[in-house]
């Protein structure tokens, strides 16, 4: 049926995306191909060099730099993603009269979930980036707290300053959420047949 082909395409594109990610990450990570003993060696050196540099420059405390804004971001992502998906899925079923198992419902709910996450999370991404750049020699912000950085951005750039890069964020989140939720719902549909065997 149509759902089987769509399910196959979703899985195929997810696998292709993962392979491309690792390929380009590997290309970015190779500094000196003659000294490298393979990709594992490159990643091991990068991680260990990065950790050593952070500890040398900022002490052990430097390893925790930016944790607070990152926690706000993670909590926002998780709570908005699932709550919005379930709410829009229910609305699609009741208001549009679609079946709960219709792939269009999962597509709509996944795209709406990505939009809601983008609206809630993009300001935190901008604040997180400014927080990380705060220690840079080129950027010296007046504040280091999340509310302080937010006030500075709004005072200088307006509210739209909090939404820099929002289209790029949604463009990245929407395909991921749509594929993830379609796959999730297809696996939920398989569950009764698997348990009845």
For residue 101, the surrounding DSSP H or E stretch is none
Residue 192 pLDDT > 70: no
Kindly indicate the confidence band of residue 196, based on its pLDDT and cuts at 50, 70 and 90: low
Q: How far is CA 76 from CA 124, 131, 181, in A?
A: 9, 17, 18
165 CB neighbour count, 10 Å cutoff:
14
Asked whether the whole model's pTM tops 0.75, one would answer no
Residue 60 pLDDT > 50: yes
Q: Which residues contact 128 (CB under 8 A, 6 or more apart)?
A: 66, 69, 70, 73
Kindly indicate the confidence band of residue 5, based on its pLDDT and cuts at 50, 70 and 90: low
Q: Tell me the C-alpha distance between 73 and 129, whole Å.
A: 11
pLDDT in tens, 161-179: 999 999 999 999 999 999 9
Q: Which has the closest alpha carbon to 117: 51, 73, 60, 64? A: 73
H-assigned helices in 97-159: 103-133, 146-157
pLDDT in tens, 96-155: 999 988 999 999 999 999 999 999 999 988 888 887 776 554 455 566 677 888 898 899
Q: Which has the closest alpha carbon to 131: 161, 111, 153? A: 153
| DSSP 8-state secondary structure symbol assigned to residue 31 | S
Q: Tell me the C-alpha distance between 114 and 175, whole Å.
A: 9
Q: How far is CA 32 from CA 15, 54, 164, in A?
A: 29, 22, 35
Q: Tell me the C-alpha distance between 7 and 15, whole Å.
A: 12
The angle at the Cα of 71, spanning 175 to 139, to the nearest 5 degrees, equals 95
């Amino acid at each position: 049926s149509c759902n089987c082909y769509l399910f196959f395409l979703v899985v195929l594109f997810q696998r292709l995306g993962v392979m491309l990610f690792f390929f380009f990450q590997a290309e970015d990570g190779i500094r000196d191909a003659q000294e490298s003993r393979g990709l594992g060696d490159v990643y091991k050196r990068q991680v260990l060099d990065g950790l050593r540099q952070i500890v040398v420059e900022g002490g052990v405390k430097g390893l925790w730099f930016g944790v607070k804004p990152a926690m706000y971001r993670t909590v926002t992502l998780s709570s908005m993603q699932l709550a919005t998906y379930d709410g829009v899925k229910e609305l699609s079923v009741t208001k549009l009269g679609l079946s709960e198992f219709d792939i269009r419902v999962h597509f709509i709910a996944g795209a709406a979930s990505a939009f809601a996450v983008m609206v809630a999370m993009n300001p935190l991404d901008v604040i997180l980036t400014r927080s990380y750049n705060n220690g840079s020699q080129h950027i010296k912000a007046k504040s280091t707290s999340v509310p302080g950085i937010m006030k500075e951005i709004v005072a200088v750039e307006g509210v739209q300053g909090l939404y820099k890069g929002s289209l790029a964020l949604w463009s990245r989140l929407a395909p991921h959420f749509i594929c993830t939720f379609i796959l999730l719902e297809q696996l939920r549909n398989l569950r009764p047949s698997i348990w009845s065997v």
